Amino acid sequence: MAATRRSVTVVASIASSTALLLGTIAPAQADTPATLHEVSTTKFVDDTCVQQVAEAYEKVGQTAEAKDLELCEGKVTVEEGSTETVDVAEAKAFAATEDMSKQETAVVVKAAKAGKIKSKKWKHAYWGGSNYEKHAGRTYWNGSKAWVKKYKGKTGYHTCHSEGSWQVGWSVKPIKCTKPKAGTYADSYYRFDASLFVKGSPVTLGVGLHYRTSKSGAVKTWQVGG
């Protein structure tokens, strides 16, 4: 869809090592409340929405005014928690739950001692008119891989249409919610359709939100459509 698109890159300060381990996993941690801080806000105007609203008015012999097109304006915000490092106690606890051998446990503990296994909680929200839709998650990385989906054990999470989303007049249909496997990047992607009626005509927007974390903890977010 033709829409104004902008991207924001937030780079986390991560100390890297040339001897980072491949396949080291972060143990699942209790999901205690984390304080999130806004790191970016991007304003947008959805050109496809503007076109659809204008056509809806034309169908009834009217011309859409600036105030009628305000529902096509909005912003995308990104909030993040602090970078968390898996400690030795967590590594040992995880090794025990996974019934790892002494050798495997030693590898995980060594990585934890070196502070190589890290994670961050985040929230990525779309606010257009009376439609507030968001996805949230926790992504892990260790310098060799970044991941959300189970990686040698339960790890991060990615929740779409998450708690706190709300709409007035709009109807939201979640289409896709990825849970990235371990790789160079972990792109938590949320795709949804948002619809409402204007002057009796349907207006439908296809929106995609990307929250991508690299193996070193560098974050890039962007919006497609909507």
**Residue range 73-104, pLDDT digits in tens:** 999 999 999 999 878 887 788 778 777 788 88
CA 61 to chain centre: 42
Q: Is the pLDDT of residue 44 over 80?
A: yes
For the chain, what is the mean pLDDT?
83
CB 172 within 8 A of CB 182: no
How far apart are the C-alpha atoms of 216 and 143, rounded to whole Å?
Answer: 5
Upper half-sphere CA count for residue 121 (Cβ side, 13 Å)? 13
CB 147 within 8 A of CB 162: no
**Cα-based distances in Å from 183 to 45, 130, 157:** 33, 37, 15
- Quick one: tokens of 156? 């991060």
**Cα-based distances in Å from 48 to 4, 18, 58, 62, 172:** 9, 47, 15, 19, 17
How far apart are the C-alpha atoms of 160 and 24, rounded to whole Å?
Answer: 27
Q: Is the pLDDT of residue 43 over 50?
A: yes
Q: Is the pLDDT of residue 6 over 80?
A: no
The pLDDT assigned to 33 comes to 52
Residues 6+ apart with CB under 8 A from 159: 135, 136, 137, 177
The pLDDT assigned to 26 comes to 32
CB 16 within 8 A of CB 216: yes
> Both ends of the chain: CA-CA distance in Å?
8
What is the residue type of 167?
Q
Confidence of residue 3 (pLDDT cuts 50, 70, 90): very low
**Residue range 164-185, pLDDT digits in tens:** 899 999 999 999 999 999 999 9
The pLDDT assigned to 64 comes to 96
The pLDDT assigned to 12 comes to 31
Report the chain's C-alpha Rg in angstroms: 21
Q: Reduce the DSSP state of residue 123 to 3 states and report it.
A: strand
The pLDDT assigned to 205 comes to 93
**Residue range 16-38, pLDDT digits in tens:** 222 222 223 233 333 445 699 99
- Of 147, 221, 144, 224, the closest CA to residue 192 belongs to 224
